[in-house]
Amino acid sequence: MNKFWTELYPEGVAKDLPPQNESLIDFFDEYLTKYAKNKFMTTMGVSYSYADVDKISKEIAAWIQSLGLKKGSSIGIMMPNVNQYLPIVIGALRAGMVLTLINPLYTSRELKHQLIDADAKVIFILEPFAHSLDSIIDKVPVETVVVSTIGDMLGTTKGALINLAAKHLKKAVPKYDLSGSSSCKELSFKDVLKKGKKLKYKRPDVKPNDLAMIQYTGGTTGTAKGILISHHNVVYGTNQYDEWFKPLNYDVNKDGQMTCVVALPMYHIFAFIISLLGFRTGQHMLLVTNPRDIDAFVKLLKKEEFHLLPAVNTLFQALLNHPDFGSIDFSKLRLSLAGGMAATPEMARKWLETTGVPIHEGWGMSETLEVGTANPLSNKEFTGSIGMPLPGIDIQIFDDEENLLGVGQEGEICIKGMNVIQGYHNMDNSKFFTKDGYLKTGDVGAIDEKGYVKLFDRKKDMIIVSGFNVYPNEIEGVVEMHPKVRECSVVGVEDVSQGESVKLFVVADDSSLTKKELIEFCKKNLAGYKCPRHIEFIDELPKSTVGKILRHELRSKSNS
């Protein structure tokens, strides 16, 4: 199957992209200088310019270089979206080091695995999460711990007040003691900045194909895998998104500055690549530290002007469910981008109805820098597909024996491109790629005659009922159309008579909703073998920190 979809690209979008002959250090030097006077980021009402971040990140880089680490040593960052996050990211890369971004909600066990597997020598950690490091500090390769407080980059007075509130009012800083390792030293983030100001930064010789990141998958079904990401992977992936978004016809010098709401945590690759796209196009990034606080999130959106809002389906849904969401001014909103998990048609319908802006769904993986497919920006309605392969992407559909399938045929989505990783850290990579070098995604889908890819589900989530393939996403999309349903999730459970049957977990929006009512609704909208045999009402669906519904936890609950 050739890349026939490139002939159907929107006007102005290139059919392919050449390799990008630059490292992330080149990337930062170019855009931090180009947009020096622009506002770079804002958290809790405190802003920094591109010039500010350029200066601060070089000070951080100089301090890291003073540690005497060899080039390419691993630096861990365990923080939510705070002002110090991106300067630390840029500083570590500018120092010639390799990033490993860590979920701040990891337990000690999960944190220990990542620090050992990545061989992290330094970790920057926000104080509320330092207790997770406490019990394992003598069991990991970390030599230096930098502890940052929430208010470190919020100004002297405001920062001090927020730190006091976090510790004493919200009780958000558990006690910790990092003195358990004689070979590890601890200092504050403010000490790093103070020392960095007195040091001279030396630009290292970093090539595009050098390692930039060891990014870890969620590890929701087992031990998290480390993904080896080069500088070129990241720069190329950012360029792919930039090319696809050209139909926005946006020029920062002519149209002023666009603001992107970064609510998804930046340790997740989707938010990370979106923030770098913001870099490339001179955007202002409005950082949301705790997107689960929907009251505060809605207040922020009512207060700030914003143009771009990327999120996952559950976050869009949570915003829609808030009683004040409809009073937000959406007149400046130009793009709502859904990724990370499948968007449901009912959510997309409500979003368009409320905001006047359609949901544009895309698809990608950590292994592809979350770059893969996206719907053209010319689409004015939700398509129900994950869009077309982006420039520089080749997608093929294979069966289980790696036979190439044709247009319209369902099989495993396999992907190749310069944004795609070369492999996993400390693992045998042969089983993850086809013999032709395509990454096996584990997603089931098909390509239609217009080049649009339809995503059915994860192979591991597919339910087989009496030999029929049943996709949870389809059932969830139907059930969420019911006016009394807030959200739902579907898993397969063992069934003696038909192999597996469908179990539906429902969070009701109206306490009068009954199982009988749901069953009748499903019978009207789904083939019989797709209808749930089991229904359980639940107060809240288990979710990851980026809002993905954790179906494996629901399966465990069903089998316990």
The pTM is what?
A: 0.86
Q: Are residues 281 and 156 in the same domain?
A: no
Average of per-residue pLDDT across 429-442: 91
Flag whether pLDDT at 393 surpasses 80. yes
Q: Is the pLDDT of residue 409 over 60?
A: yes
Q: Where is pLDDT greater, at 430 or 157?
A: 157
Domain match, 135 and 283 both: no
CATH of the domain at 534: 3.30.300.30
Q: Which domain does 387 fall in, by range? A: 4-19+231-458
The answer, yes or no, to whether residue 218 has pLDDT greater than 80, is no
| Residue 53 shares a structural domain with residue 9 | no
Is 214 within the bounds of a domain? no
Residues 346 and 432 in one domain: yes
pLDDT at 220 over 60: no
CATH of the domain at 286: 3.40.50.12780
For residues 44-60, give the mean pLDDT. 98
Confidence of residue 287 (pLDDT cuts 50, 70, 90): very high
Choose one of 388, 423, 458: the last residue of a domain. 458
Domain membership of residue 28 (yes or no) is: no
pLDDT value for 336: 95
Average pLDDT score over residue span 229-243: 97
User: Per residue in 186-195, pLDDT tens?
Assistant: 999 999 999 9
Q: Which of 458, 492, 514 is the last residue of a domain?
A: 458
pLDDT tens, residue by residue, 492-520:
998 877 778 999 999 999 999 999 999 99
* Of the candidates 442, 466, 460, 521, the residue with the CA atom closest to the CA atom of residue 488: 521
Q: Are residues 193 and 329 in the same domain?
A: no
In a domain, 223, yes or no: no
Last residue of a domain, one of 206, 222, 253: 206
Q: Residue 400: which pLDDT band, with cuts at 50, 70 and 90?
A: confident
| Beta carbons of 388 and 5 less than 8 angstroms apart | yes
- 344 and 488 housed in the same domain: no
CB 495 within 8 A of CB 463: no
Same domain, 134 and 276: no
Crossing angle of helices 189-197 and 50-65, rounded to 10°: 90
Mean pLDDT computed over 320-336: 95
Confidence of residue 252 (pLDDT cuts 50, 70, 90): low
Check residue 221 and give its pLDDT: 40
Asked if 27 and 206 count as a contact pair (C-beta separation under 8 A), the reply is: no
Residue 219 lies in a domain: no
Q: What pLDDT, on a 0 to 100 scale, did the predictor assign at position 505?
A: 97
Q: Given a cut of 60, is residue 222 above it in pLDDT? A: no
Q: Could you report the per-residue pLDDT of 84-143, keeping only the tens digit for each?
A: 999 999 999 999 999 999 989 888 888 999 999 999 999 999 999 999 999 999 999 999
Q: Are both 95 and 75 inside the same structural domain?
A: yes
Report whether 59 contacts 83 (CB < 8 A).
no
Verify that 448 and 467 share a domain, yes or no. Answer: no
Q: What is the sign, positive or negative, of the torsion defined by CA atoms of 507, 509, 514, 520?
A: negative
Provide the CATH number for the domain around residue 77.
3.40.50.980
- Does residue 216 form part of some domain? no
Q: Which amino acid is at 234?
A: V
The DSSP code sequence of 141-191 is: ---EEEEE-TTTTS-HHHHHHHHHIIIIIS--S-----TT-TT-EEEEHHH
pLDDT above 90: percentage of residues in the chain: 76
In a domain, 449, yes or no: yes
pLDDT on residue 340:
74
Tell me if 26 is assigned to some domain. no
Q: Calculate the average pLDDT of the chain.
A: 92
pLDDT at position 242 is 94
The answer to the question of residue 510 being in a domain is yes
CA-based radius of gyration for the chain? 24
Same domain assignment for residues 85 and 193 = yes
For 445-456, how does the pLDDT look when each residue is reduced to its tens digit (9 = 90+)?
A: 999 999 999 988
26-43 pLDDT, tens digit each: 999 999 999 999 999 999
Is 396 found in the same domain as 473? no
pLDDT of residue 467: 67
pLDDT tens-place string over residues 356-373: 999 999 999 889 999 999
Distance, CA of 358 to CA of 294 (rounded, Å): 21
Helix (H) or strand (E) holding 36: none
Q: What percent of the chain has pLDDT over 70?
A: 97
Domain identity same for 306 and 438: yes
Number of domains into which the chain is organized: 3
